[in-house]
Homo-oligomer: A and B are copies of this chain.
Amino acid sequence: MSTRTRERKARRKPSLSWTKMSFQQLTNPVAPVNWVSQEKLDKLHEASMWILENVGMAFMDPQALDIWEKAGAKVDHKEERVWIDRGLLMEAVAKAPSQFTWHARNPEFNTIIGGNHIAFNPNSGMPYASDLDRGRRPGTLEDFTNFAKLAHSLPFFQIAGAPFVEPQDVPVSQRHLEKMRVMLTHTDRAVRDVAHGYIIPEDEVAMAKIAFGGDLPGACIGGTINVTSPLRLDDRMIGGILAYARHGQVSTNTPFIMAGATSPATIASALAQQNAEALGAIALAQLDSPGAPVIYGGFTQNVDMRSGSPAFGGPEGAWGIFVGAQLARRYNLPFRASGSLTNSKVADAQAAYESQWTMWPAIMAHTNFIMHAVGWLEGGLVASFEKFIIDAECIAMFVHMLNNFVIDDDELGLDSIAEIGIGGHHFGTAHTMERFETAFYDPGLSDRQGFDPWQNAGGQDAAQRANGIYKQLLENYEAPPIDDAICEELDAFVERRKSELVGVDLYG
């Protein structure tokens, strides 16, 4: 160990309780909440079939139109519009796997997506970054890298790579290369990006092959597809779906519906439309590449009628998640929702309750892939370092809760209850002494001290404490092992593609 390394280790603060938790394939021990009856669910299904058969959906890409035509759908090439019969649609959707493994560079961190499994994924794609020291500013590659370090530092992101924040200091044509390089080298857990056009997925697959040391062992990367509601998949999104599907990589097909704006002003119609759009995108992937890993995504909220903004973290969003998951289950598809959604501009009480109003429905509904599990502020415009830590505390609590408690003779400890009897306390019993260090959830952020010790320690609120914690995690970050040869090959690829892509329209 070099002197410098020793000094750095000596300076470190004690590690957080979170970092003692281990990576795990998380499952939900309780049955999913079915928010609506089977009859009502069928009515939503029927409505979405009616939409695809009678209104149809735009697929603004010649390859997609050809795929649909070949499959037997009615296609209007000029209008780029397809009318899809429910028999054809359901046959294609049925080819999708009900669950699949998302591979990590370190196979110990492979994660199943689907069934009663849950995977958490951090914040994605915000144009701005913020922290209490520097405020709100355009995201940079440094911010991106810091979020990547934080995500790797915490064991509970099964898919640890994400397009955390937009690195606005990198030219647009180079961003996917820089982002993927940071993700693949800063974590050995699974990663994902957005998926726009044909070029980005091809580059990212090539980089994943370098990082994985050859052919991909299955689904290793993937991207989010946002249907441009109402009922329209543009060429960027279709490129992402098809390019990833052809490589056996993941597309997360997520209509972004604001009821009252991009759908009628009811959650019933928004969900029917969501179902039509998500299944339309998934069917396209399956017709092109049967068996390709796909996720049914839900991101349905209402438009706030006062401000015109999407209403995040409210009752309508909760319904959207509960019933979206029920719909995905109806088709045996993995379901994606989000976790830390909020309209708040700061990491305050509103930010926290709106995020819990998103996360609790997601967990109870059996969401398999929880994107944006941390870090949101301001309707997704801002990736906040403090909010990342605040949300991380809640994820750590969910991990603990879902691991459930044991009910058996040892844990019941009836002998110990008899020993203490009436009155008294259980602090010093053998039963307690065996357990007290690990018995209960140990918070990383929450302050449970009384008023005086809290005030004497500085009287900081949760956001102020989170500021210290994110810096501590960055200071303690340790990169996972990676061969120098792989790094050099990635660097060479990135440099070559950077120069090749100068002036190229990535989505052309």
Q: Indicate whether A75 reaches chain B with its CB closer than 8 angstroms.
A: no
Q: Indicate whether A348 reaches chain B with its CB closer than 8 angstroms.
A: yes
Chain B residues, CB < 8 A from A414: 47, 50-51, 54, 269, 272
Q: Indicate whether A468 reaches chain B with its CB closer than 8 angstroms.
A: no
Interface string of A117-148 (1 = CB under 8 A from B): 00000000000000000001000000000000
In the A-B complex, the 7 residue pairs with the closest CB atoms: A356-B356, A352-B352, A349-B352, A315-B401, A348-B461, A350-B462, A349-B462
Are B360 and A448 neighbours in the complex by a CB distance under 8 Å?
A: no
Are B319 and A55 neighbours in the complex by a CB distance under 8 Å?
A: no
Chain B residues, CB < 8 A from A398: 315
Interface residues contributed by chain A, number (CB under 8 Å): 126
CA distance A343 to B35 in the complex (A): 32
Interface string of A400-419 (1 = CB under 8 A from B): 11001111100111101110
Are A311 and B426 neighbours in the complex by a CB distance under 8 Å?
A: no
Which chain B residue lies CB-closest to A318? Answer: B401
Are B405 and A450 neighbours in the complex by a CB distance under 8 Å?
A: no
Which chain B residue lies CB-closest to A416? Answer: B264
Q: Indicate whether A381 reaches chain B with its CB closer than 8 angstroms.
A: yes
B57, B425, B448, B462: the one contacting A309 at CB < 8 Å is B448
Are B259 and A446 neighbours in the complex by a CB distance under 8 Å?
A: no
- Distance in Å from the Cβ of A324 to the closest Cβ of chain B? 13
Chain B residues, CB < 8 A from A408: 43, 268
Are B421 and A314 neighbours in the complex by a CB distance under 8 Å?
A: no
Are A56 and B422 neighbours in the complex by a CB distance under 8 Å?
A: yes
B272, B314, B440, B451: the one contacting A265 at CB < 8 Å is B440
CA distance A395 to B442 in the complex (A): 28
A-B contact pairs, 29 of them (CB 8 A): A47-B414, A55-B417, A230-B420, A230-B422, A230-B426, A260-B426, A264-B429, A265-B432, A265-B436, A265-B439, A266-B412, A268-B405, A305-B437, A306-B442, A307-B450, A314-B441, A316-B440, A319-B404, A343-B449, A344-B461, A345-B451, A347-B349, A348-B349, A348-B461, A349-B463, A350-B447, A351-B352, A353-B390, A354-B446
CA distance A318 to B405 in the complex (A): 11
Q: Taking A437-B305, A447-B344 as contacts, is the C-beta distance between A30 and B40 under 8 angstroms?
A: no
- Distance in Å from the Cβ of A269 to the closest Cβ of chain B? 5
Contacts of A423-446 to chain B: CB distance below 8 A = 423-427, 429, 431-432, 435-437, 439-443, 445-446
- Distance in Å from the Cβ of A166 to the closest Cβ of chain B? 16
B50, B416, B445: the one contacting A269 at CB < 8 Å is B416
Question: Which residues on A are within 8 Å of B, measured CB to CB?
Answer: 29-31, 33-36, 40, 43-44, 47, 50-51, 54-58, 79, 81, 136, 228, 230-232, 259-269, 272-273, 302-307, 309, 311-316, 318-319, 343-357, 360, 364, 378-379, 381, 390, 393-394, 397-398, 400-401, 404-408, 411-414, 416-418, 420-427, 429, 431-432, 435-437, 439-443, 445-451, 453-455, 459, 461-463, 466
Are A423 and B58 neighbours in the complex by a CB distance under 8 Å?
A: yes
- Distance in Å from the Cβ of A335 to the closest Cβ of chain B? 18
Chain B residues, CB < 8 A from A400: 315
Q: Taking A263-B426, A268-B408, A269-B411 as contacts, is the C-beta distance between A345 and B454 under 8 angstroms?
A: yes
CA distance A502 to B425 in the complex (A): 36
Q: What 4 new A-B contacts, CB under 8 Å, besides A58-B423, A230-B421, A305-B439?
A: A40-B407, A262-B425, A349-B461, A353-B393
